[in-house]
Chains A and B, each alone.
Chain A
Amino acid sequence: MTARLLLAEDTRDLNRALTTVLEHEGYNVVSAYDGQEALDYLSSEVFDALVLDIMMPKKDGLQVLSEMRAAGNYTPVLLLTAKAEVDDRVAGLDAGADDYLTKPFAMKELLARVRSMTRRHDDYAKQRVAFEDVLLDAQTFELSAANTVRLSVREFELMQTLVSHASRPLTVDYLLDSVWRQEDDAQEDTVQLYVSYLRGKLKWVGSHVTIQKSDEGFCLANDKTEL
């Protein structure tokens, strides 16, 4: 799929040069020349990522960033800062930028950062992860081996966390942090119950994978090797 970028840069020559290079890399690029124009595009169209210059007429990049985030738009943003000042970069990241690049920059580096931003976005949305005979689909929350079942959001997040650290035991505290984000009423019992749900569901989809508990924490394991 072609990623769609919004490029907001008021210097016409630079805007044109960047557009040419990005289009050559296969991106679909829309150009804006001031902050207000960028906001207008953002309110009417959908983009996969945004390259945003800080110094722009009408509204500067930081204003655009905080207005779009306040409106609930979480499209990844790469800020272009003219000054190498620390305060500028800190302000940008605090306002919700995902990354920044200081002018002058190498075109190669800009492309690498745009790639990283759009890839991150893609991966989260469409990931399918596997461990042994189990497949976990992030789009449908389907857990499958011989059979399939639908997981609840929490069950899915727990399973995904276990799969992405498959070889390492995870402590209850780590799971409460990353899956339950330290919600007030989530406790060790909660984790234990959800582990039990997943063990049951792994069994009923006909998988050989189970969740082992040791002193170090919870870890996926192949049940067959146990027998």
Chain B
Amino acid sequence: MLHFMYLQQASRSATRDPTPREFGLRLLAPIACLLLFAFIAASGHMTAVHAGEPAPVGKTTSMQLANGLQIVVVEDHRLPVATHMVWYKVGAIDDPQGSSGLAHLLEHLMFKSFDAEADETFAQTMSRLGAIDNARTAHDYTYFYQRVAKEHLPKVMAIEARRMSGLTLTKEQVTTERDVVREERRSVVESDPLKLLTEQVQATLYQNHNYGRSPIGWSHEIANLQQKDAVDFYEAYYSPGNAIVVIAGDVTPQEVRQLAAETYGPVPAGNAASRLRLREPEPIAARRVELIDRRVPRPTLFRYYLTPSYNTASPGQAESLEVLMAILGGGETSRMHRVLVNEQNAALAVGARYFGKGRDSGHLALFGLVGQNNKMEKFEDALDALLADVVENGVTEEELTRAKAAIEAKLVFEKDNQMKLATSIAEALVVGRSIDDITALPDRLAAVTRADVEKAAREFLVARRSVTGLMASPPRPKGTAQ
């Protein structure tokens, strides 16, 4: 399903309904709103540039201001536009005990600023500039972005610099926005059994780490969040030394250096609170969760396995997991699709992905859209048999070649999308990886061998590392119509 991701992007702007073929992707989408894979297209990083020619797409340069703020420039001179992002090293894992959802609520509240000078709200400024803007909160980080015509870059930098310190919030703003977040949870998560199931699976997978908590927060805790909580959290974590600014687009490092000095330079350094860094205990027992809900459209199974992330893995391990998942569940020629959908007719759609971008941990996610209640057991047996076969007998050279071809193409396609390009780089930097590390990733992925993949399968496709999540609708009472 990997190779449909790009097309799905395209199709959203096409004149059509989404197609069933995008299914697998959509099923995994709820657990991965952000870019799913850690492939980074920063290959221009080391490239020499001839005078007078624009830098190649993806050329990446990093600099630091005296107040500790890191600024990263990713060049893309194809269109006169820029993508400006501020990433804070704070996220839902930093929500205090009992206050889940606080990081996310604060992200919402960051939009309450008012520009007295221009007499306009944040939203009005964005409209006036013709910007596309938004923000996101994940477990590890929170980020804000604006996409603008190049000439408006200084303005959006000034705005982000201003809200990097001294945010003021009224009590009423906080309580109203809290209601909005509860509506968000209700309409986005609680209306969707798929999201509820993956929330449960994730909560079960992590026995110690805050990755087990929903980043939007649990409903009863969101309801108790107070103005002071938000302000304290902001004061503790929002400062230049705890942030990374990534600017992608038709800009040079020289231009950005100057603009950054003018806008972000004067922001007081501040001291960010230290972040708790938890580790999972070695798992010892396979776990299961079942969601019975009459809104479930078709019985579906998810299987997660706890693994390291790129950030915590030993050399080559994460890359091997990436390739393993592409072989198992990346698209319609993957092992799972061939065996479980085509040959055995045990599922209608399947997919597999490695979630390896976390600061402290990663996991594998496999799913099967089973279709009928009475087929669930057969599917699970077939899946287990398939995984056992991979662990025992390995993968073929052909499977490896195909997976790598998809990965190579994906790296190029990703580079075509400025927002994805910037996001990928930022997402790696914000959890502590280096630009060189990111730049070398394509080579490291290309170097993965069959033996690497097989070793990863043996090590991580192990029942005790897993959580199996099932969802189905309740059986109909006897005598009711179908």
Q: Do A and B bind each other?
A: no
Residues of A within 8 A of B (CB): none
Residues of B within 8 A of A (CB): none
